[in-house]
Structure 1
Amino acid sequence: MKKFIALALLLLPLGIQAQQAKPNVQVKGTLKNIKDTISIVYANYASNGKRVLDSANVVNGQYSFNIKISEPVRAQLTARNVANKKAKVIARNVASVFLEPGIITVASVDSFTNVSVKGSKAHSEFVKLQAALKPYDDKLEVLYQQYSAQVKNKNKEALDKIENAIDSLDALQREEVYGAYVKQNPNSPIALYALKNYTGYEVIASKVEPFFDLLPAAIKNSTAGIEFKAKIETAKLTDIGREALDFTQNDTLGVPVKLSSLRGKYLLVDFWASWCGPCRRENPNVVQVFNQFKDKGFHIIGVSLDQPNAKEKWMKAIHDDKLTWTHVSDLQFWNNEVAKLYGIQSIPQNLLLDPDGKIIAKNLRGEALGKKLEAIFSKEAKENAPKVNK
């Protein structure tokens, strides 16, 4: 259920910077009939490939931002009361607004999230897209609630079933809403946003690139367009059939391990982390598969995206989960050099390599990993069996 882990990416301090360039967007906000005390509004958005966090004081029910962007971007506006800094952010105090150059008015009535936006064609398109998404989001919300309940109950079987349902519905949503939107509206100011959501956190180049090619040159050549194209090119390097990109990273003892040094066996390159709940729940299955096939020519190298100064947590997770295979990490969280090399944006993810180091499968989880290896080794056993002359 990669969506849960991938969403954490949105909360990371991705190069938050101060505004220095000349603003070209003016956001004028008003608050009316709102019960919550709001004294400050934060705006979190991307500009030139980096996250930006701005703030504006609320005076007499009004606030304003002066922002510099080069292309339409989605901004998350969060309302807070500075007198109560410990208060949790609640859904009714968060709103998403699509910004573009010009003067944009944002009126919140009854609750901060109930916004009416004028002056942004991009936001108008965003509202249409949100309406198309609502039936799917409503069903997903029910599944998320069920998932939370089963986490408390520690019911792994139920969790697996719900995760599969979430993944299936999420995939359907991406195809029927985001994918359809890009096909029908390639010139929309939010077409690239829709394409990113269609893509998800695993870029499959052969599937995504045809959609990217539909976009006009202005979007392709934007900062976000160029970044997205780079992700497509990275994904091509890890397509099935390609030789896995070689890397070297230190193991738990600080000894460098080179990927190519592990050739000669079927090898699972497993991206995970001690803090990743879905990864830890998948580990018992991986352990079972490893123990079943390790003597037949199967090995695993775990690449951990654990955080700096978290080596003890990494080591403890390896010990607690009985992960008796090769482990490496630079303890740089999402900046892990191997993860960046392979374009990993969510975990768990994995790649299965053949003895020559070529990628033969990706993201095999649950029963799929065991079935794939069973097929491989059964075929090899038949091919290597002595032939009987009749």
Structure 2
Amino acid sequence: MKKIFLLGLFAFPFTVWAQNGIFLLTGQVGQESAPAKVYLNYQQDGQLKTLTSAVVKGAFQFKGTLTDPKQAQLVFDHEGTGMEKLGRTADVKILFLEKGSLLLSSKDSVKNASISGSPLNETYKRFQALMVPSEKAMRMVELEYRNAPEAKQKSQQFQESLQSKLMKLSAEQRVIILQYAKKNPTSFLSLHLLTQLASPDMDTQVMRSAFNALSTNLRGSKLGKELVGKLGTASATAVGGMAPNFTQNDVNGKPVKLSDFKGKYVLLDFWASWCVPCRAQHPNLVKTYNKYKGKNFTILGVSLDDAGKKADWLKAIKSDGLTWTQVSDLKFRDNEVAKLYNINAIPQNFLIDPSGKIIGKNLHGEELNKKLASIFK
């Protein structure tokens, strides 16, 4: 009887929620109960928001207020160990929250769950099908690196080969997104995807063209205005512009400013301990640093690790032999410097000259070495 009561409660018609801008996410995953928990992570007013729900015979529920749709991460903690202790194999599903009642169900895990009552998630499901080939290819590149012997992983030729493959796949994904946005100018997903596509090295002319093709309502929305801001930031961090100054703490909690390095050539390097492509580049980056550190060159690393994973950040610095200055606010993808430089994916870097001017972007491997060789002749 209790189970029937719970299901009846969760199935209540919440038409009023849609009118008041409230979402209700109801889930039924298996038959687990405490200590199992479910976490819902999403951005709200520039901050990462985490909601927690208990699980009763597989049932859980979340409710909140939205001003516009949000992409979210749903995490099922089957053992109740805490989200910060869950690793890469965690049971996770990416979905969209929107006003109204969303129903999620699965026999065993959230990653295999189906969602009903949400037009946006149906749209997202169709878009994901378009990305399957390239995402599968990217996973194969990652596996190629992980399965390679350690000596091969440190090979510059091998690393550059993988980087070339990833860049080609990323370019293919950009084309898919731009074409999708062009064909679906009234879909919120189009605006969301363009926002995710925005990066420091984006072609602002192409992006502005895609953005201007969206409906008036989307362009005037809160997210639309944020994208306009990102396009402006991309222009501000273009080659030839002055690198925005910032302050962030190093591994010992000591504040470090970018301006502290004025007078030197600085490679501002965005990475994280969990980023496989970033870690793959470190052996060559160490060689580059050791070759030019006595010639008025240094590196300033900015990590997108989070507070619960500081130990992983410190371990990666030590095991990869990164002897240059490292900073982070441990806010994961909400890192304030990453937002200042419009970083949506890593690895990415900026080469800054002694006056503080940006003279290069996303220079990796031999490309970086050639640039530095031309400077330090």
**Fold agreement, TM-score > 0.5:** yes
**Counterpart of 2:99?**
101
Shift of residue 362, structure 1, vs aligned partner: 0.9
Report if the CA contact (8 A) 2:283-2:320 is conserved.
Answer: no
Match of 2:25 in 1: 27
Partner of 1:13: none
Which letter maps to 2:187? S
Distance 2:151 2:280 in 1: 14
> Structure 1's 105 and 210: CA in aligned 2 closer, same or farther, altered over 3 A?
same
Contact 2:234 2:342 in 1 (8 A): yes
Distance 2:58 2:289 in 1: 61
Amino acid at match of 1:216: S
Kept in 2: contact 1:186–1:215 (CA 8 A): yes
Residue type of the alignment partner of 1:52:
K
Report whether the alignment pairs 1:211 with 2:210: yes
Residues 74, 370 of structure 1: alpha-carbon distance in 2 compared, 3 angstrom cutoff: same
CA 219–152 in structure 1, closer or farther in 2 if over 3 Å, else same:
farther
Partner amino acid, structure 1, of 2:363: L
Report the more deviating stretch, 93-102 or 231-240. Answer: 93-102
- Provide the rounded CA distance (Å) in 1 between the counterparts of 2:80 and 2:330: 33
Pairing of 1:19-58 with structure 2 (within 5 A):
24-31=22-29, 34=30, 37=32, 39-58=36-55
Secondary structure in 2 aligned to 1:146? helix
1:65-76 matches, within 5 Å, as 65-76=62-73
Q: Which ranges of structure 2 fall in alignment gaps of 5 or more residues?
A: 1-19
Give the aligned residue type for 2:50. Answer: L
Kindly state the Cα deviation for residue 140 of structure 1 after the two structures are TM-superposed: 2.0
How many Å separate the matches in 2 of 1:373 and 1:76?
41
Question: Which is further off, 242-251 or 252-261?
Answer: 252-261
The within-5 A match list for 1:314-325 is 317=317, 321=321, 323=323
Q: Deviations over 1:33-89 (max 9, x none)?
A: x4x735543322223333222233444554333221121222322333356769957
1:238 — aligned with what? 237
Q: CA RMSD in A?
A: 4.3
Deviates more, 1:194-203 or 1:68-77: 194-203
> What residue number does 1:80 align with?
77
Corresponding residue for 2:13? none
- For 2:255 and 2:80, locate their aligned partners in 1 and report how far apart those are by CA, in whole Å: 50
Q: Find the residue that maps to 1:180 and give its secondary structure.
A: helix
Q: Secondary structure at the match of 2:28?
A: strand
Matching residue of 1:132: 130
Does residue 192 of the first structure (1) align with residue 187 of the second (2)? no
Pairwise CA distance, 1:120 = 1.5
Q: 1:62 to 1:179 in 2, by over 3 A?
A: same
Percentage of matched positions with identical amino acids:
30
Q: Which amino acid aligns with 1:53?
A: T
Over alpha carbons, which structure has the higher Rg?
1
**Alpha-carbon contact 1:108-1:115 (below 8 Å) kept:** yes
Q: In structure 2, what is the equivalent of residue 14 of structure 1?
A: none
Determine if contact 1:48/1:224 at 8 Å carries over to the other structure. Answer: no
1:351 is matched with 350
SS at structure 2 position matched to 1:364:
coil
- Which secondary structure does the structure 1 equivalent of 2:130 belong to? helix
Q: For residue 114 of structure 1, what is the aligned residue in structure 2?
A: 112
Query: Which residue of structure 1 aligns with residue 167 of structure 2?
Result: 167
Residue 111 of structure 2 aligns to a residue in which SS? Answer: coil
Instruction: Tell me the residue number matched to 1:18.
Output: none
Larger mean CA deviation between 124-133 and 201-210 belongs to 201-210
Number of residue-to-residue matches in the alignment: 346
- The CA deviation at 1:128 is 0.7
Report if the CA contact (8 A) 2:243-2:357 is conserved.
yes
Q: 2:143 & 2:118 partners in 1: Cα distance?
A: 34
Contact kept in structure 1, 2:266 and 2:353, CA below 8 Å: no
* CA distance in structure 2 between the aligned counterparts of 1:365 and 1:190, rounded to whole angstroms: 32
Distance 1:369 1:121, change over 3 A: same
